[in-house]
Amino acid sequence: MSNEKIPPDVEAFASHLLGRGPTLEIVTLKGHLWIEGQLRKMLAIRLGVPEQRLPRLSFSQLATLALCGLSVPLFERIVLINQIRNSFAHHMNPADQTDRIQRFVAIVKESPWPQKSDEQLVVYAKAISHTAGFIDGVTQTLSRHCAQF
């Protein structure tokens, strides 16, 4: 083994990721992917094309097209989750996202914001799940209606 010292940025990165359970960052990133998949399904149904035929779209473009003419609060949720995701994805030490996460949870109206961080994670994950489920419900309704035409 070498006696080389681990550079501080590598050590900070490793300690940031290793030995941690679910975090707000992981819940955000995985939840964002889940919601993105739901939006792709919705857009494909609204356009009457297979998902594979959809062009590559940014998340904002996808959300705008998929949700066009639908609930404004749903669009607000999607904008917030994207802002939170972008902060976590593009910064090693992002600014505190608690205010945005609390607004997201408040729009979903899952429950009051708890004081304990492990409870915050559960409430946030439920709000993401509720959002993805809502999109899925709208998508299924659209699918049934589009099949009639």
Kindly report, residue by residue over 86-105, the tens digit of the pLDDT: 998 888 777 788 889 999 99
Domain boundaries, the chain: 31-147
Ranges of residues in the chain whose predicted pLDDT is under 70: 1-21, 110-111, 147-149
Q: Are 95 and 87 in contact (CB under 8 A)?
A: yes
* 3 state DSSP class of 20: coil
pLDDT for residue 7: 59
pTM of the model: 0.81
CA distance 123 to 72: 22
